[in-house]
């Protein structure tokens, strides 16, 4: 799945965060990294929608089992995934906008897409992906009611070749896997497909990508169940104010509001 393209992260990703401690401690029910926060919501599709939102940075698990940032590029740049809710849930359903960026080029996303999460049962969900029909800058995504994404007409969007099946483990943990896809154009002649697997919880998304020689059915992929040790890449959830590029945008927005 290209929205969290593991191969791309391995080549480009580094962590150059200027961490800032949140100004005040949050109550557990208001803290997106606590299980208590998700108890407030009445359905599992709503919880999945909330778990997918946020700012994420790639780490990996070293030989000692310690999570460490993925450093490259002389520590001068990092690649982030920013996912934000879009639309009116009661009218449009559960939509997300994924924005993958390098910190030195925040307004030139490496990847962006819209995702529609559909509930098929209490435990089974589907993520369908679409091209975003408008150009959006990172600053626009912090603009509240003036966010240009709020003007999108969700009818008639162009689907793209991305598809995730989600399964509920419990109310704060979900498992996911993609439909097979060609990661690179060079994979197509040899019929070499990629399948991505995900394990989502309140503070991270764990990743594992697997190559297959033929296009397996979703039913077959759903029964593969990769070993837990294979999920050694982590997208860790950060508060926006912990990352300099977002902290600056928040500061600028608050100044405009006179705060």
pLDDT in 10s for each residue of the chain, 259 residues? 454 554 444 433 333 344 444 445 678 888 999 999 999 999 999 999 999 999 998 788 888 888 877 655 566 667 789 999 999 999 999 999 999 887 778 888 889 999 999 999 999 999 999 999 999 988 888 766 678 898 899 999 999 989 999 999 999 999 999 999 998 899 999 999 999 999 999 999 999 999 998 889 999 999 999 999 899 889 999 998 888 888 887 776 666 666 5
247: left (phi over 0), alpha (psi -120 to 50) or beta: alpha
The whole-angstrom distance between residue 216's C-alpha and the CA centroid of its chain comes to 24
Distance CA 46, CA 145 (A): 21
Count up the domains in the chain and report the number: 1
Distance CA 217, CA 173 (A): 24
Residue 66: give the domain boundaries.
2-256
């Amino acid at each position: 799945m290209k929205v969290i393209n593991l191969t791309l992260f391995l080549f480009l990703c580094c962590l150059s965060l200027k961490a800032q401690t949140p100004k005040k401690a949050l109550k557990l029910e208001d803290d997106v990294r606590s299980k208590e926060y998700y108890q407030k919501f009445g359905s599992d599709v709503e919880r999945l929608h909330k778990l997918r939102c946020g700012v994420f940075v790639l780490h990996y698990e070293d030989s000692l089992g310690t999570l460490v940032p993925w450093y490259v590029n002389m520590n001068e740049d990092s690649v982030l995934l920013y996912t934000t809710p879009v639309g009116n849930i009661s009218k449009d359903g559960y939509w997300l906008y994924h924005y993958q960026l390098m910190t030195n080029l925040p307004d030139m996303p490496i990847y962006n897409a819209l995702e529609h999460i559909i509930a098929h049962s209490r435990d089974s969900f589907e993520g369908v992906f679409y091209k975003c029909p408008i150009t959006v800058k990172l600053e626009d995504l912090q603009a509240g009611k003036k966010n240009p994404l709020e003007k999108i007409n969700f009818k008639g969007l162009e689907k793209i070749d991305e598809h995730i099946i989600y399964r509920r483990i419990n109310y704060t943990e979900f498992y996911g896997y993609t439909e097979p896809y060609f990661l690179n154009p060079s994979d197509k002649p040899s019929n070499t497909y990629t399948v991505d697997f995900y394990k989502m919880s309140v503070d991270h998304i764990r990743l594992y990508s697997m190559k297959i020689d033929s296009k397996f059915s979703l039913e077959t992929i759903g029964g593969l169940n990769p070993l837990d040790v294979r999920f050694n890449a982590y997208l860790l959830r950060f508060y926006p104010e912990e990352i300099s590029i977002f902290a600056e945008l928040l500061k600028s927005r608050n100044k405009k509001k006179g705060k």
